Amino acid sequence: LWIAEGVRKGKVRHVITTNIDGLHEKSGLVRDENLSELHGNIFIGECRSCRKDHRLPAPISTPPTQDPLNHLITPSTPCPTCAAPLHDNMVSFHSTYQDMPSMEPRHDAAWVHCIKADLLLVIGSSLSVPTACDLVDVTFEKGGKVVILNRQKTPKDKFAFMNIFAKCADVVAMLPWDELV
């Protein structure tokens, strides 16, 4: 909720997440407007036939498969538009957005926001999952400041203007948006 409040107050332009739980949307952020979900969303089914995304009432269940592009939702859920089967849009471990072409626009939007960012605040990330962790490098290389808030060290700490080693919830609770520049 703290991040969504920052968006509402105009202090945060865009939120980039690798979480797939849909909680950022529940807090009021709008997918593809001020939110890039780099690894997908368990409440979104995508149709590979008509290319539309559909919000689902319950989290997606997909059986394990070796093919990251062929995650059919179980039980089979037809697309409300064209009746083709819906697939999940999740980028699995050991794969990248390149394995899930429908996620490329979200990844591209995240890159653009990081290129333009004056400040990139990383909250609670190990910064070890490609390609999301590379966004830190982009902001740094373009002259933006990077602040990393995490309980342990990350491989990207050397790019940080500031590292805060603490519980994320404890730190954000002390940061009122009205008093931040």
Strand partners, 150: 165
Beta-sheet pairing, 86-88 with 53-55: unpaired
Return the active site residues: 39
41 CB contacts (<8 Å, ≥6 apart)? 20, 21, 22, 25, 31, 89, 90
Whole-number Å distance between alpha carbons of 44 and 152: 32
